[in-house]
Structure 1
């Protein structure tokens, strides 16, 4: 297989989010024109309709991504707004979408832990010690953290998940904000990212990766999101002694988790919860958020969305090619008819000539009993003064 260099490129984080959004909505059948429920095309006549799309949040280890559709008449402008067309015609609005999509670099769960541990070093100076009481770890769990200066300190878990949530929120909304976000009427996501006015509580949202692992693997709450239940189960888990959790783990009471997951569960559940409610302003009571790992039994990857986007013109091209093939086939059939007729006439002519020659030869042989002479046309003629017995002698 030959791979051309022009077919290989590095994509931006924004396009990874777009491809993921396409893949999710494709897997859910949101691009089916005839399916319901439908909404009016934004900015077009009321007679046209299409299905509502869903938004997605992907919480990874190093970054987080979000993508959702905006109304066409939404006047929000930003570098994070992208217009895409999934149809095979540029003049058809059926599959044109206006998306808000962005990547929050440094705000994945693992980077969140790094930010959190960096913030803990400030407490070392205040306490003049090497042990930090940590609300974001199970009770009595110890972890040694290496400092950039070469030293280290110890995190000792207190298991207070509610207080952990407060500390995590400080990491999402630092005091320093952009000039746009400082405006009184401005709406911003965490990380000082300007946001559209559409409330995400009203948007059907799907959470992937850590939104699934951090709610499902230990808490068993994957699926439709319930903020109150997540907070309750998180507090119960983190309030346990680490030795108790280890005993339960050995008894396989956490079959979907490994030991590293058990150690970081308190922080990760607090992180994803704070990002959802404090970072994206999703209401804790009224929302349409759910965490998933698969859709219709299949994992959904951004590569599927990339394929759909870049092959959107192919059905039309295939139709054109099929039309050309059909026309060529029809033309070839029209040409074969007279050719077949001419071939049949030629074969019939050869057959008749062969038959006449055979009859002539037979008659010549019969006349050979009277002798053979050559006529002016170079045919052998019979001599009348020879008897019939001499005929066989000529072919002996």
Structure 2
């Protein structure tokens, strides 16, 4: 996004980072802005690496090598402020768009991965797009916004909306410098407004997500992280008790309808800027997953929202490091490393054998002399 907004500033930042890190005593290989596809792919690598999907496991009871009960990888759903990514391995499906196909060979297995990054469809940029679209029908500089709580009011400068390239398609000359948002807290109307951001009328492939981008049929389980998790966790819809899509929609709808003053009182420690946007963000996430990515009530149960995996953040950074340092080999090692559980089991087993041997030895050496004579 920074490169789109100001290429010179982006180059200046990278130059400064390069100059600074080059002074440190490690093998610095340069700084660059990764592509959206790379971000999606590295996020996919991160979660599957941390969840053990790339390695074979040892059965610590039988001590024989066996494959994991389910070697199918998890799909990755990432949501940031500027963009969102979807990445997974389609089954028996040709990836019709070469730009969305990546090939990996990890631990002796080939993966044909589908990935796409939707720039301008992160939650922050999506909100700016929606406001830039809706302000065109504002009367006297004021408009009712169903994506904000009843009683919420905020004055914004029009220029703020057009600082980002994501709102370029909605840019127009308006006879005002400022406008006021007045929240009405209506989930259904908010959803309808958000759906206008997705162009689903054209698709040059057999099937698409939105904006003419190819999307193969969804396959397997997905892990949703970053803003997907932060927003849905705040809305309290990530627990196992809220497993059905119908219940999730009901909870988001109820949250949006609550008066702004009540929300501020209930969440006094949360900054108003972030608190005011949770209704929009929750509604946007549901619209993106259901209408954009075509999850259904049935496939919704295959999505799990995660913040951390084994105390590690779910995100693209670990995957980037693993790929850069070749910590995930292309071929399966000849001998799989012992898991922690296997190591503990073997240590306990050997300790018991050693103790048993010592006890038997002590018993034999402390037998009375007549015992040895009888044996002779």
Same fold flag (TM > 0.5): yes
Evaluate the alpha carbon distance shift between residue 246 and residue 123 of structure 1 in structure 2; reply closer, same or farther with a 3 A threshold: same
Query: Quick one: distance in 2 between partners of 1:67 and 1:154?
Result: 38
Evaluate the alpha carbon distance shift between residue 261 and residue 68 of structure 1 in structure 2; reply closer, same or farther with a 3 A threshold: same
Structure number with greater Rg is 1
263, 274, 280: which one aligns with 1:261: 274
Higher relative CO (CA 8 A, sep ≥ 6), structure 1 or 2? 2
> CA offsets per residue over residues 138-164 of structure 1, 9 Å max, x none?
001011121136611111111111111
Determine if contact 1:71/1:98 at 8 Å carries over to the other structure. Answer: no
Name the residue aligned to 1:131.
Answer: 142
Matches within 5 A, 1:223-242: 223=239, 226-242=244-260
145, 169, 188: which one aligns with 2:195: 169
Query: Quick one: distance in 1 between partners of 2:317 and 2:204?
Result: 38
301, 305, 330: which one aligns with 1:291: 305
Determine if contact 2:147/2:280 at 8 Å carries over to the other structure. Answer: yes
1:140 aligns with 2:151: yes
236, 257, 279: which one aligns with 1:220: 236
Evaluate the alpha carbon distance shift between residue 246 and residue 73 of structure 1 in structure 2; reply closer, same or farther with a 3 A threshold: closer
99, 118, 127: which one aligns with 1:104: 118
Query: Quick one: distance in 2 between partners of 1:190 and 1:303?
Result: 27
Per the TM alignment, residue 167 of structure 1 is displaced from its structure 2 partner at its CA by 1.0
Structure 2: state its 5+ residue gaps. Answer: 1-23, 57-65, 160-173, 334-376
Name the residue aligned to 1:19.
Answer: 42
Evaluate the alpha carbon distance shift between residue 2 and residue 182 of structure 1 in structure 2; reply closer, same or farther with a 3 A threshold: same
Determine if contact 1:146/1:152 at 8 Å carries over to the other structure. Answer: yes
Matches within 5 A, 1:306-345: 306-312=320-326
> Secondary structure of the residue that 2:104 maps to in structure 1?
strand
Aligned length: 283
Per the TM alignment, residue 314 of structure 1 is displaced from its structure 2 partner at its CA by 8.6
Q: Which deviates further from its counterpart, 6-15 or 98-107?
A: 6-15
Name the residue aligned to 1:30.
Answer: 53
Query: Quick one: distance in 2 between partners of 1:261 and 1:7?
Result: 35
Determine if contact 1:85/1:97 at 8 Å carries over to the other structure. Answer: yes
Evaluate the alpha carbon distance shift between residue 5 and residue 27 of structure 1 in structure 2; reply closer, same or farther with a 3 A threshold: closer
Query: Quick one: distance in 1 between partners of 2:52 and 2:34?
Result: 26
TM-score normalised according to structure 2 size: 0.69
Evaluate the alpha carbon distance shift between residue 116 and residue 315 of structure 1 in structure 2; reply closer, same or farther with a 3 A threshold: closer
> Secondary structure of the residue that 1:203 maps to in structure 2?
coil
Cα RMSD after superposing both structures: 2.7
55, 80, 99: which one aligns with 2:75: 55
Determine if contact 1:64/1:103 at 8 Å carries over to the other structure. Answer: yes
Query: Quick one: distance in 2 between partners of 1:75 and 1:157?
Result: 42
Matches within 5 A, 1:60-71: 60-71=80-91
Matches within 5 A, 1:200-211: 200=218, 202-211=219-228
TM-score normalised according to structure 1 size: 0.65
Per the TM alignment, residue 300 of structure 1 is displaced from its structure 2 partner at its CA by 2.6
> Secondary structure of the residue that 2:151 maps to in structure 1?
coil
